Amino acid sequence: MMKTVFALLASAALANAHFTMQYIWDNGVDQGLDNYLRVPPNNNPVTDVTSKDLTCNVNGLSGASVATLSIPAGRNITFEWHQHAQRTGEDPISGGHRGPVQVYVAKAPSTAASFDGQGAVWTKIYSSGLLNPSSMLWATDIVNSNGGKHSVVIPALLPAGEYLLRAEIIALHTSQTYPGAQFYIGCAQVKITSGGNANPPKISIPGTYKGSDPGITVNIYNNLQSYTAPGGPVWSG
């Protein structure tokens, strides 16, 4: 009997410790639960960096039933994550989950809804990682204290067109060996109605990340002094 109770508690604790992207905000305006988002079937992380689930989470290769948000380039987009489909005040992404927060964009050849995000199409526009080594303050701590939210300004030089926005939170509490790092991924569909004419650098997701990357297989509990997130530098436009 006790064994069963402990087993249940343990599995509940594990499930509780995961999270999903649930809202985006456009210039400070909440767009509503799950709107414009490719919603995965549950809050489990992706751990295989060679899987197509790394692109836009499980079942994320198309967004046929997902609407696309129209915005001009230069907008401030906020992503909001929670453990459960609610804003209850619980730790939004669970305090034990420490690691970087990154945002990528990929331009669709036609519509965002039909775009699978495969190939060298992703440009990194935001990355925040280990903010203070001595206090072990990570970008994820800021997300937790900010109601599950982090923001990015869509670079004004991006060409007009339909895009996937991909935000990623990598939890590194079990990443001493590979697979171990937990990739939490959310993709939003947007249409940039006016922009610029930049041709920014691009990577593949999956493809560029390797299990051996120092930002993916890393012990964060051994006096880590600096951290290099996977996927290369940020393009700021």
- Which of 114, 151, 174, 176 is the binder for ligand NAG (CB under 6 A)? 151
Residue 153 lies near ligand NAG (rule: CB under 6 A): yes
Q: Give how many residues touch Cu ion by CB under 5 A.
A: 2
**Long-range contacts at 227-231 (CB < 8 A, ≥ 24 apart):** 227/100, 227/129, 227/130, 228/129, 229/100, 229/102, 229/127, 229/129, 229/170, 230/170, 231/102, 231/104, 231/122, 231/124, 231/127, 231/203, 231/205
Closer CB to ligand NAG, residue 58 or residue 153? 153
Query: What are the two backbone dihedrals, phi and then psi, of residue 168, each rounded to the nearest 5 degrees?
Result: -140, 130
Q: Count the residues in the chain.
A: 237
Closer CB to ligand NAG, residue 74 or residue 180? 74
160 binds, among Cu ion, ligand NAG, none (CB under 5 to 8 A by kind): none
Residue 18 lies near Cu ion (rule: CB under 5 A): yes
Residues 202, 172: Cα–Cα separation, whole Å: 25
Closer CB to ligand NAG, residue 19 or residue 126? 126
Residue 166 lies near Cu ion (rule: CB under 5 A): no
Residues 6+ apart with CB under 8 A from 17: 83, 94, 96, 97
Angle at 189 (CA atoms; ends 109, 171), nearest 5 degrees = 110
Residue 75 lies near ligand NAG (rule: CB under 6 A): no
Residue 59 lies near ligand NAG (rule: CB under 6 A): no
Shortest CB 77 distance to ligand NAG, Å: 8
Q: Give 65: exposed, middle or buried? Use CB within 10 Å, 0-12, 13-18, 19+.
A: exposed
Shortest CB 22 distance to ligand NAG, Å: 16
Q: Candidates 18-26, 61-69, 142-150, 211-219: pick the segment binding Cu ion (CB under 5 A).
A: 18-26
Closer CB to ligand NAG, residue 78 or residue 123? 78
Interaction site with ligand NAG (CB under 6 A): 28, 76, 78, 151, 153
